[in-house]
Amino acid sequence: MVTKTDAAKEQLSASARWVVGITGASGAIYGVTLCRQLLAAGYHVHLVVTDAGWRVLKEELGWDASRRLDCLNEQFEYAPEEKRMTYHPLNDIGASIASGSFRCEGMTIVPCSMGTLSAIAAGASTNLLTRAADVMLKEGRPLLIVPRETPLHAIHLENMLKLARLGVRIIPAMPAFYNGPQSIEDIVNFLVGKVMDSMGIDNHIYKRWGQPDGNE
């Protein structure tokens, strides 16, 4: 039996697509959690992971980076025929998301390394991820970047300011503690929820100020 919720997700997934990039910055769990939330909400995810991103997925989450498609299947129930997620190899510069004619809601890079951020700020489309980000800028579509680095020097800050002036949403991976997090999951969900807020996607995965359970 198909419920109204299932039907709504099916209809949504037919047209609503987000590009998600995961780079080699620490905090791979942020990108993984965002993908899971988007899939659960009925969105189609177009995923790009840098080589350094795969290394971090291995180091931080224990993924076997040598079995990339198997990892995606295990973690996201990745199945190309179901059209829930499309994985694009980093060097596939001819992928759909490399063209401005590809329609999508926007793109988020979480976490974003300073190297990737620098390339985007310079307009250097050296791989599919930076090319897809460049497409978002030239087409005027939402681009959200979650930088994860500390401390920051002047070049980092100047690159973020440059992108912010171009309309890019900069959402640093900064946890909050006013919501009384009790676990790492609570901290991760806070950031992912804030990212989804900026994406314009309704969510109840973190406790909001003035709302005891976060779901009111």
Binding-site entries for dimethylallyl phosphate: 178, 194
In the chain, % helix, strand, coil (3-state, to 5) comes to 45, 15, 40
Peptide bond between residue 111 and the one before it cis (omega within 30 degrees of 0): yes
C-alpha to C-alpha distance for 49 and 92, rounded to whole angstroms = 12
**CA gap 34, 17 in Å, rounded:** 13
Binding residues: 24-26, 50, 113-116, 148, 178, 194
d(CA 121, CA 163) in angstroms, rounded, equals 6
Q: Which residues are annotated binding-site positions for FMN?
A: 24-26, 50, 113-116, 148
Nearest to 143 by CA among 123, 161, 120, 124: 120
